[in-house]
Structure 1
Amino acid sequence: MSDARLLIGGRRRAAADGGTLPLRDPATGEVIGTAARATESDVDDALSAVAQGFTEWRCSAPRERARVLTEAAAILRSRAEAIARSITAEQGKTSGEARAEVEQSAGYFDWYAGEALRDLGRTWSDGEREFTVEHRPIGPVAAFTAWNFPASLPARKLAPAVAAGCAILLKPAEEAPSAALALAQSLVDAGLPGNAVALVTGDAPAIARRVIGSPVIRKISLTGSIPVGRELVRLSAEHLQPLSLELGGHAPVIVLPGADMPAAARALAAAKFRNAGQVCISPTRFFVPQEESESFAAHFAEAAAALVVGPGDRDGVDVGPLANERRLRTVTDLVDDLRSGGARILTGGHRVEGLPGWFYAPTVALDVPGDARLLTEEPFGPVAPILPYDHVHEAVARANAVEQGLAAYVFGPEHAARDVAASLDVGMIGVNSTALAVAAAPFGGVKSSGYGREGGTEGIAEYTVAVTQVRKEGAP
C-alpha cells in the first residue's frame, strides 16, 4: 500500500488531523494506498518553512546549487525502479514509459545544475557610469502539477527553482503524488536545506486559495487545465504574483503532399497513443491531403489496432489505462458524439472488455463532422480524427482555429514543412519529429495554452528577477 505523506521542514509527516485521500490503481479501480489530506495548519506550516528556506537558500553559491541538483539526479537514478513502479501503480502508464519519465526528470536536474553556473548576468560602461544586471531568485515559489506526468512535471519546476536559489512549495496532483514526493526527497537527501522544499497534497482548490493568498509566495507555476489557470490568475491578483502557465493543447498535425504516408502514420500513431493519449502535446487532429486520406487512415488504424492494451506493469503492453474514471467518461462521450455525427470508426471506439480498470481501445475516426466536439475540445485520450483537406492553406487555417496553441506537427518534404511551420500559431512545432519535451529547449504555448516557459535557458529566467545597479565611475 502506498502512503504518500506531506514533506515539511525536511520531514515526512501525516496531516495534522490524520486525514487522507484514497489512491486508486487505474488498471483495477481498487484502492492501493492513501495520500495525506493537508489541513490549513499544514499548509501554513509549509508556507512558514519555505519562507525560512528562502532566506537560507538564496545566499547559496551557484556551485552548491549545481552540486545539489547533480547529486539529486544520481539519487533519482538509483531509485528509478521504485519510482517507476509508483508511477505505473498510481497513474497507469506502462513500465517502460514510467522508467523513461524518471530518467527525463533526472535529466532536468542535470540540465539545471549547469544553468545554475551559467546564469551570470552582465556588466557594461558608458564611460561615466558602470551598469550591472544581476539575476536574483524571485522568492518562495508555489508549484502545481497535473497527474499525467507525475515525475517530469514536478521536475520541470523543482529543478529551475532550486538552480535559481528559490524555495518551492509543491502541490502535486492528489491522484499520483508518490513520484513528486520522491523527487522532493531526493533534493533533501542531496543536501538542499529541508525548509527550501515542501510538498502538500489534499483539497486542491482549498490549498491553492491558502497558498496563493499568502504574501510569502512570490511566484506561481502551474501545469493544468485552462479553467484552473484562469482561477489561479484571479487568485494571484491581490499580491500581483507572476505566473507561468502550461494549460494544455490541441495539437494539429499537417501531413503534406509528398510525405511518406505509411511511415508518417506509424510515427504519429506511436506519438498519439503514448500514455493513452494523456499528453498535453499529444497530436490530436490529423490533417491529410484528400487524395491520401483513405490510405493514411488505413495505415494509422492498422498501427493503432496492433497496440497491446493492458495493465502497465505487464510485459509487452503498449497502452495502459486512462488515469481516472472521469477521463474514461469524457473519452466515451467524445466518441459517442463522433458516431452520432456520422463518423466512421476504423478501429477501437469502445471500452476494452475483460479488463476491470479504465481502459479504452485506441480509436481512429474518418468522415468526422465539422461540428464534432473532438475538433475543439482537447481529448486527452486515445482518439484520433483523420481530417482530409484540399489545399494546404485550408489545413493551416483549420489547425489555428482553436483557442489552444501549445504544439503542432508538420510531416513532409523539409522545405515545404518549414514554410507551413512558420504559419502555425503555437509555442512548439515538430517538423518530421514528435520529440518536443527536452530539458535544453523551452516548453510552453500561446493563446489559451498559457504563457511562460519551462526548460532551456528561458526556464530558469522564470524564477529570477533582473536587478540593475548603476554606479558613477570615479565617485569619491
Structure 2
Amino acid sequence: MSTSTAPEYPAVRLYIAGEWRDADDGRTAPVVNPATEETIGAVPLATTADLDDALEAAADGFRTWRRTPVAQRTAILRKAADLITERAPKIGRVMTLEQGKPLKEGTGEAARTADTLRWHIEDARRAYGRTIPSPPGTILSVRREPIGPVAAFVPWNFPVGGPNRKISSALAAGCSTVIKASEETPATAAALVACYADAGLPPGVLNLVFGEPADVSDRLIASPVTRLVAFTGSVPVGKLLAAKAGEVMKPSLMELGGHAPVIVCADADPVKAARRAAQAKFFNAGQVCTSPSRFLVHESRYEEFTAEFVKATERVVVGDGFAPDTTMGPLSNERRLAAAERLTADAVRRGATVRTGGLRPERAGYFFAPTVLTDVPDDALIMSEEPFAPLAPIVPFADLDDALALANSLPYGLAAYGFTESAATAEKLSAELEAGILSINHCGGSVHEAPSGGVKDSGYGREGGPEALDAYLVTKRVSHQLG
C-alpha cells in the first residue's frame, strides 16, 4: 500500500483564546512525511505577540476555570474524552502521516489518550483537603488548589499521548494551559485540542502554540502569568528549561530521557525474555524514552537469548505506516536517522558485531533497519548515549552484582527491566535498580493508573496515577480562629 491512501493533510493553526488563527506575521515552517521525505503541509510559528496573547488568554481562562464547580469541569472533560474516542481513527491517520508510526499504533495511542483523560477526571473529584483536630474555637484545615496557568512543552514521539498527559492533568486540577507541541507533528496536537474545544471548554483555558523552541520557552517561562513549567523531552533541554524556571522561582515537572537497562538473569526463560524485549524495543521504532536499550544477559543465557532476539528482530516488517503489514515505521526525522547511523558505525569501529540490520534501506524516507549488536565494548557510545532508534546492543555478564553496577552506572534513571523466575532475585532487582519505573518479566509501557517518572538526570515529578495531579495543585494551610 502506498502513501496515496493517506488522508489529506489538514491545515494547522494556533489555538488562542478560543479561536483558531494563523501566526501574527504569517510565518510557517514545513511539515515533512518521514516515510517519503515529502513536504505535506506547514505549521505556523508564533510571534511574541501571539505568545503574549496566549498568556493573557491563559490568565483569563484560569480565573474562569478555577471557579467552575468540579462537577461542571468534569462534565466538559468527559465530553472531550468521548470526542477523542470517537475521533481516534482519524487522529491516528493524521499521526501516521506526520510522525510515521504504523496506523494501528497511532490509533491505539489516541484511544488510550481518552482513557488517560477519564482517569484524571475521576482523580479531580478526589483532590481532597482535610481538617486537622484543633483546640476549641479554631478550625485548622488543608486545602488543595490549582497552581495556576501552566506552560507545557512536549516532543514528537507520542503526538497525542504526550500533549494529553499535560493537558488532562492540568485541566482536571483546575489549571489553564499554554502548550507548545512539536512543530514536526502539529496536526495531531491540533486534532487533540479540537476535541477539548468542541467539548465546550471556556476560551483561554487551553491554548496551543508552535514556534522557535528557544523563543517560545523564554517567553512562556519568564512571564509572571506562568506558575508551573511541565516538560517532556531530552535531558539537556530539560536541564535548560528547569534552570530558566528556577531563575524565576517557578516549580517544574520534568520527564526526561533515559537509557533503560534490561537484565536477563541466570534463572530467566531466555526465549520468553527475548521475544518480549524485542517487541518492546522496536515499538515506535525505538523512539520511546522508556524503550529497552541496553541488554545485559547472563552468560549462561546469552547465546539462546541473542539467537531468539535476532529471530524476532528479523520478523519486524519495516515500511510505510499505512501499509497493513508494517510493524515498524520510519524514524520521525533526519536527526534520528543520522544518530542511528552514527551509533552503529561507532560500535562497529570499536569491535561490535552487527548480527542483523545496521543499514539504511535504499528507499526514500527516514527508515533504518532494526539492528542487533553483539560484542559491544563498554566504551561504545551506544552503551552510554540514549539511541532513541531501533538499535539493540546485547552484552553478557557473569555476576548479577556486576550487571546491576553497569545498569546503574549512567546518570539516567527512567525505566529498567528485569527477567527472572526467582522471587528473591526479583526483589533484589526491585531494591537495587535505580529507576523510577521497573518492569519484571515484561516490558510494558506507561499506564494511566500508576505513576511514571525518573530519578537522577531523568527528571523529577510524576505523571499518571493519583500522583499525577500533585504538580498542578498547591497545598494551602488555613487556620481560622472563631470569635
Question: TM-score, normalised to structure 1's length?
Answer: 0.98
> What amino acid is aligned across from residue 24 of structure 1 in structure 2?
V
Aligned to 1:261: 270
Aligned to 2:124: 116
Aligned to 1:335: 344
Equivalent residues, number: 473
Q: Secondary structure at the match of 1:73?
A: helix
* In 1, Cα distance between equivalents of 2:204 and 2:62: 8
Displacement after TM superposition at 1:418 (Å): 2.6
The answer as to 2:437 corresponding to 1:458 is no
Give the alignment of 1:94-173 within 5 angstroms.
94-128=102-136, 129-173=138-182
Aligned to 2:18: 10
Q: Secondary structure at the match of 1:443?
A: coil
Displacement after TM superposition at 1:11 (Å): 1.0
Which stretch shifts more, 62-71 or 144-153?
A: 62-71
> What amino acid is aligned across from residue 197 of structure 1 in structure 2?
L
Displacement after TM superposition at 1:231 (Å): 1.1
The answer as to 2:395 corresponding to 1:391 is no
Q: Considering only aligned residues, what root-mean-square deviation do their CA atoms show, in Å?
A: 1.0
Q: Deviations over 1:385-439 (max 9, x none)?
A: 1110000000000000001100000111141223212101110100112123011
* In 2, Cα distance between equivalents of 1:386 and 1:406: 20
* In 2, Cα distance between equivalents of 1:439 and 1:65: 20
**Contact 1:348 / 1:363 at 8 angstroms: preserved in 2?**
yes
Q: Secondary structure at the match of 1:142?
A: strand
Give the alignment of 1:264-275 within 5 angstroms.
264-275=273-284
* In 1, Cα distance between equivalents of 2:358 and 2:91: 33
The answer as to 2:58 corresponding to 1:50 is yes
> What amino acid is aligned across from residue 312 of structure 1 in structure 2?
G
The answer as to 2:289 corresponding to 1:250 is no
The answer as to 2:82 corresponding to 1:90 is no
The answer as to 2:329 corresponding to 1:320 is yes
Aligned to 2:354: 345
**Contact 1:88 / 1:312 at 8 angstroms: preserved in 2?**
yes
**Contact 2:170 / 2:472 at 8 angstroms: preserved in 1?**
yes
The answer as to 2:245 corresponding to 1:236 is yes
The answer as to 2:443 corresponding to 1:434 is yes
Of residues 20, 40, 55, the one that matches 2:48 is 40
Identity %: 45
Of residues 432, 442, 447, the one that matches 2:456 is 447
* In 2, Cα distance between equivalents of 1:113 and 1:191: 16
Q: Secondary structure at the match of 1:35?
A: strand
Q: Secondary structure at the match of 2:477?
A: strand
* In 2, Cα distance between equivalents of 1:443 and 1:4: 31
* In 2, Cα distance between equivalents of 1:135 and 1:192: 22
**Contact 2:273 / 2:442 at 8 angstroms: preserved in 1?**
no
The answer as to 2:479 corresponding to 1:470 is yes
Displacement after TM superposition at 1:284 (Å): 0.4
**Contact 1:347 / 1:364 at 8 angstroms: preserved in 2?**
yes
Which stretch shifts more, 310-319 or 64-73?
A: 64-73
Give the alignment of 1:155-194 within 5 angstroms.
155-194=164-203
Give the alignment of 1:343-382 within 5 angstroms.
343-353=352-362, 355-382=363-390
Displacement after TM superposition at 1:124 (Å): 2.1
> What amino acid is aligned across from residue 95 of structure 1 in structure 2?
L
* In 1, Cα distance between equivalents of 2:208 and 2:377: 45
**Contact 1:349 / 1:362 at 8 angstroms: preserved in 2?**
yes
Gaps of 5+ in 2: 1-8
Q: Deviations over 1:303-357 (max 9, x none)?
A: 001110001111010110000001000010000001101111110000022x310
* In 1, Cα distance between equivalents of 2:297 and 2:430: 15
> What amino acid is aligned across from residue 322 of structure 2 in structure 1?
D
Gaps of 5+ in 1: none
Aligned to 1:65: 73
The answer as to 2:291 corresponding to 1:282 is yes
Q: Secondary structure at the match of 1:231?
A: helix
* In 2, Cα distance between equivalents of 1:135 and 1:244: 18
Displacement after TM superposition at 1:10 (Å): 1.0
Q: Secondary structure at the match of 2:365?
A: coil
Displacement after TM superposition at 1:77 (Å): 1.1
> What amino acid is aligned across from residue 211 of structure 1 in structure 2?
L
Structure 1 stretches of at least 4 aligned residues deviating more than 6 Å after TM superposition: none
**Contact 1:286 / 1:385 at 8 angstroms: preserved in 2?**
yes
> What amino acid is aligned across from residue 90 of structure 1 in structure 2?
E
Question: TM-score, normalised to structure 2's length?
Answer: 0.96
Displacement after TM superposition at 1:100 (Å): 1.0
Aligned to 2:3: none
**Contact 1:24 / 1:31 at 8 angstroms: preserved in 2?**
yes
Displacement after TM superposition at 1:239 (Å): 2.1
> What amino acid is aligned across from residue 394 of structure 1 in structure 2?
D
Give the alignment of 1:291-330 within 5 angstroms.
291-330=300-339
Aligned to 1:225: 234
Q: Deviations over 1:445-465 (max 9, x none)?
A: 000000011111111111010
* In 1, Cα distance between equivalents of 2:247 and 2:396: 48
Aligned to 2:86: 78
* In 2, Cα distance between equivalents of 1:418 and 1:238: 41
> What amino acid is aligned across from residue 307 of structure 1 in structure 2?
V
> What amino acid is aligned across from residue 165 of structure 2 in structure 1?
R
